[in-house]
Structure 1
Amino acid sequence: MRMSVLAAAITLLYPLAIWFGHGRIEPRWLAGLLLVAALSRLPALKLNGVARWSVAGALVLVAAAIWSNMLLPLKLYPVLVSAALLAAFAYSLTTPMSAVERMARLRGEDFPAVAQAYMRKVTQVWCGFFVINGAIAFGTALWAPEAVWSLYTGVISYALMALLFGAEYLVRLRFKRLHNV
């Protein structure tokens, strides 16, 4: 799923903006930020069904926040992002080329079967990450104070992603060395 720079920036800064806005700005007005996030994803709509469902889900959350003037629908956006990424990565496991392999092929490389199997396993690991990340984001949205939710969804989850990227990179180096790839 390709994201524009604006969509990526909004997604990264969204939890912090919700936390700063909480208690200062009514949730129905904060919903405008989520609307901008959804609209910034419009170029991705022509790419795949996951992008369309993600935007539709964000628009439902916007409508719920405006209608209820509650913060909860806005706090569910990171859950939606994890669910959309899970759907994209999991769906790719039903196709001949996994999401990780598809991204790796953007560099124009061709891979032997052993590398393709490895990339399929990495895609499965990312699916597990998105399940756990989405569950924690959901739990903090429902039961944790806004500061805890914001800390997890705006800092900790990204640190965990970076940690997973780094760990996978080290494993990949070892894999390449062992398999002469």
Structure 2
Amino acid sequence: MMRVRAANVLNIAGGLVVIGWPFAVWLALSYPHLHILLPLLALCFVLRLAALRGKTGALSRVAQALAAMGIILTLASVWLREARLLLWYPLVVNSVMLALFGGSLFSRMPLIERLARWREGELSPAAVRYTRRVTQVWCGFFIINGAVSLWTCLHGNLHIWTLWNGMLSYMLMGTLFAGEWLVRQRLKRHHE
């Protein structure tokens, strides 16, 4: 029971790190006396990595790699005294996700199809084509989101970086999730 509770706490902490990252970076860069946040961010990524320990599968390995990259970027920022390195984390996330989703398009089964089969079991040929298309749409999202994230890093305006990476990109991602779910429900009804 205690192990389950600890795992839940670690999962919640990991989720808060992902959501709160842009705002913590904004605070650390905007207010130099808050650079103490950097070691705390590294600790949060260590906790995220600990929560993922022992989990298998492509998505778990990606989450572990992203937590490790968060640790590396945060510790490099502390060691080099260059907190602006933290701005590159969203670009790393988009690049890794693009590689995962895009790479799966060249495999026997794209990532979204694997997830759909895990939840639904056997899929019709139409559903297989749909999952491939959804995987392609997510690749397009990661390309566009990564390009805008890169632009915000290079532009140098911390407020624009925080607005995009801390709010707008999450809103677009949520809209894409919701839109895809609505389309999927409609297609399911049509094919049943």
Which TM-score bucket, shorter chain as reference? Answer: 0.7 to 0.9
Structure 1 residue runs without a partner (length 5+): none
- Cα offset, 1:42, TM superposition: 4.1
CA distance in 2, matches of 1:11, 1:139: 20
CA distance in 2, matches of 1:52, 1:15: 19
Q: Tell me the secondary structure at the aligned position of residue 137 of structure 2.
A: helix
* Contact 1:26 1:69 (C-alpha < 8 Å) held by counterparts: no
Q: 1:43 to 1:88 in 2, by over 3 A?
A: farther
> What is the RMSD computed on CA atoms of the aligned residues?
2.5
Alignment of 1:32-111 (within 5 A): 32-39=39-46, 40-44=48-52, 47=56, 48=58, 49-111=61-123
Q: In the TM superposition, what whole-angstrom CA distance separates every residue of 1:39-83 from its partner, at most 9, and x where no partner exists?
A: 213444653453454344333312331233222211111111112
- Cα offset, 1:13, TM superposition: 0.9
User: What TM-score do you get using the length of structure 1 for normalisation?
Assistant: 0.83
CA distance in 2, matches of 1:5, 1:128: 29
Structure 2 residue runs without a partner (length 5+): 1-9
CA distance in 2, matches of 1:24, 1:146: 12
Q: 1:9 to 1:104 in 2, by over 3 A?
A: farther
* Contact 1:82 1:133 (C-alpha < 8 Å) held by counterparts: yes
Percent same amino acid among aligned pairs? 34
Higher RCO (CA < 8 A, seq sep 6+): 1
Q: Which stretch shows the higher mean deviation, 128-137 or 26-35? A: 26-35
Q: In the TM superposition, what whole-angstrom CA distance separates every residue of 1:62-117 from its partner, at most 9, and x where no partner exists?
A: 23312332222111111111122222212222222222222223434321121011
Q: Tell me the secondary structure at the aligned position of residue 76 of structure 1.
A: helix
**Count of equivalent residues:** 178
* Contact 1:78 1:134 (C-alpha < 8 Å) held by counterparts: yes
- Cα offset, 1:18, TM superposition: 1.6
Structure (1 or 2) with the greater helix fraction: 2
Q: Which stretch shows the higher mean deviation, 20-29 or 144-153? A: 20-29
Alignment of 1:92-171 (within 5 A): 92-171=104-183
Q: Tell me the secondary structure at the aligned position of residue 36 of structure 2.
A: helix
- Cα offset, 1:7, TM superposition: 1.7
User: What TM-score do you get using the length of structure 2 for normalisation?
Assistant: 0.78
Is 1:22 aligned to residue 34 of structure 2?
no
* Contact 1:50 1:84 (C-alpha < 8 Å) held by counterparts: yes
